[in-house]
């Protein structure tokens, strides 16, 4: 399947840019610091979300650069999904500003969302439509050009050709996840939001899918915001991670060096530390 994924994205491969070169040279941190919101694919500035007295997200600021995969990590209830929902325009921030390729989501919602797409385990596609029908409906919603061709490419890339006429509801959870990913790639998004994208997928397929997304990011020069509880996956895929805890960004950095910088043996250990800290702070706050 991995080769098929790469074939599907072959037309985009000519765009590999200085981002990778800078990343290889360890200069991405410097480059990102100088990155202004207008250069970022995603710019989240001081975003808050309150439900009464509860602050689910509290002044979160970050950016996703072209060609970058950013991991959004944190324990359950940290505010990851709330943040993603705000970026998807299905939840209005209480304060702050979200821009996708410089387009203010609050002002030009439709235009901004046309540049994004997402896949999330908690948002399966309608089970009463077939795989092909789902892709066609969402392709029209995203205004995908040469839609039939694009559907054929994605069915091949995500090993879904044999399920073309199968209703999505009867697919296994892994197959449904692949369908969600195919949907997420329909419009060749500039910003891809992935919430546990390889959950329910076997390790071999998950590796191929990670490779496919990494290829797409490099070649298409898009940015990805990726949440996962699989720290091995995060370390393998993400250029940078943000640790959210109780609605705030607690840590930020390279997933390969961040654990050492904070005295943890691995990203997994660092995650546990952050989670425990979050629980302790929560208990103290009460």
Comparing CB distances to another protein, the nearer of 71 and 114 is: 114
CA dihedral 128, 193, 44, 77 (to 10 degrees): 80
Classified as helix, coil or strand, 82 is: helix
Residue 127 neighbours by CB distance under 10 Å: 12
Comparing CB distances to another protein, the nearer of 224 and 258 is: 224
* Distance (Å, whole) CA 38 – CA 42: 9
CA dihedral 89, 237, 204, 266 (to 10 degrees): -120
Residue 232: CB minimum distance to another protein, A: 28
Comparing CB distances to another protein, the nearer of 32 and 49 is: 49
CB contact at 8 A, 86 and 92: yes
Residue 13: CB minimum distance to another protein, A: 27
Comparing CB distances to another protein, the nearer of 71 and 189 is: 189
- Alpha helices of the chain — where are they, by DSSP H? 2-8, 18-24, 28-33, 80-87, 109-113, 131-141, 147-157, 173-185, 203-220, 231-237, 258-261, 267-285
Comparing CB distances to another protein, the nearer of 52 and 263 is: 52
Comparing CB distances to another protein, the nearer of 94 and 273 is: 94
Contact set with another protein (CB under 8 A): 51, 81-82, 85, 88-92, 109-111, 113-114, 116, 118, 120, 122-130, 133, 136-138, 140-143
Residue 212: CB minimum distance to another protein, A: 21
Residue 195: CB minimum distance to another protein, A: 11
Token pair 């910003």: residue: 191
Residue 49: CB minimum distance to another protein, A: 8
* Distance (Å, whole) CA 237 – CA 93: 29
* Distance (Å, whole) CA 193 – CA 211: 16
Residue 267: CB minimum distance to another protein, A: 28
């Amino acid at each position: 399947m991995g080769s098929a994924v790469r074939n599907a994205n072959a037309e985009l491969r000519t765009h590999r840019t200085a981002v990778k070169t800078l990343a290889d040279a360890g200069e991405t941190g410097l480059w990102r610091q100088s990155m202004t919101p207008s250069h970022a694919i995603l710019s989240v500035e001081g975003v808050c979300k309150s439900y009464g007295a509860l602050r689910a997200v509290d002044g979160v600021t970050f950016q996703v650069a072209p060609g970058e995969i950013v991991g959004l990590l944190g324990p359950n209830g940290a505010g990851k999904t709330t943040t993603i929902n705000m970026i998807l325009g299905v939840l209005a921030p209480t304060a702050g500003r979200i821009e996708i390729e410089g387009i203010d989501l609050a002002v030009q919602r439709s235009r901004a969302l046309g540049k994004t797409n997402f896949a999330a385990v908690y948002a399966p596609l309608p089970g009463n439509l077939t795989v092909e029908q789902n892709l066609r409906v969402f392709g029209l919603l995203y205004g995908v050009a040469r839609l039939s061709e694009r559907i054929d490419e994605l069915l091949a890339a995500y090993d879904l050709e044999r399920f073309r006429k199968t209703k999505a509801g009867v697919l296994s959870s892994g197959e449904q996840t692949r369908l969600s990913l195919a949907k997420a790639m329909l419009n060749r998004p500039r910003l891809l939001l992935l919430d546990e994208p390889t959950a329910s997928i076997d390790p071999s397929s998950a590796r191929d899918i990670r490779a496919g997304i990494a290829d797409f990011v490099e070649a298409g020069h898009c940015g990805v915001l990726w949440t996962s509880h699989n720290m091995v996956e995060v370390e393998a895929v993400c250029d940078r991670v943000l640790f959210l805890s109780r609605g705030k960004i607690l840590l930020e950095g390279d997933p390969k060096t961040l654990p050492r910088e904070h005295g943890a043996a691995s990203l997994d250990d660092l995650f546990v530390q952050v989670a425990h800290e979050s629980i302790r702070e929560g208990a103290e706050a009460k």
